[in-house]
Copies of this chain bind each other. A is one copy, B any other.
Amino acid sequence: MSKSEVAELPLLQNGDVVPCCPPITAGELSQVDAEKMAAMFKALSDPVRLRLFSKIASHPGGEACVCDIADVGVSQPTVSHHLKKLREAGLLTSERRGTWVYYQVAPSVVAAMAAMLDLRG
């Protein structure tokens, strides 16, 4: 029952849409594709993560320092925990610049999620 099979997500750089999976209207998802997609949706299935993500996405350049977005109503370790989850899902990348750590959205991964929800398949 326990599936510790952590599907390794793309983790690719900005550019274009990664053809991870076809639109959901294109046919039945395979087991593997379903697990990959589910991992991405799960990353956005928490209100705190969603708020962190929107704060970063709405910053100029789609990038923000942790110190700029940490005010979401939970403790600092919890913020760090959620940012790690988003990073592991491939939705964010992080980079340390001196004292601060900056997180950037991974546009191609987000675009791939949106493409999968396109019903005009």
Q: Other than the known A29-B51, A34-B54, A62-B119, what 18 A-B pairs have Cβ atoms closer than 8 Å?
A: A1-B58, A24-B57, A25-B58, A26-B58, A27-B58, A31-B73, A34-B50, A37-B44, A38-B45, A38-B49, A41-B44, A42-B42, A42-B45, A42-B46, A45-B45, A57-B119, A107-B119, A111-B119
Per-residue contact bits, chain A 54-70, to B (CB 8 Å; 1 contact, 0 not)? 11011000100000000
Copy total for this chain:
2
Closest chain B residue, CB of each to CB of A108 = B119
Distance A25 CA – B105 CA, assembled complex (angstroms) = 10
Footprint of B on A, CB under 8 Å? 1, 24-29, 31, 34-35, 37-38, 41-42, 44-51, 53-55, 57-58, 62, 73, 105, 107, 110-111, 113-114, 117-119, 121
| Nearest CB of B to A46, in Å | 6
Residues from chain B with a CB closer than 8 A to the CB of A34 are 47-48, 50-51, 54
A57-B25 contact, Cβ under 8 Å, with A45-B38, A50-B34: yes
When distances are taken between beta carbons in the complex, the residues of chain B under 8 Å from A113 are 117
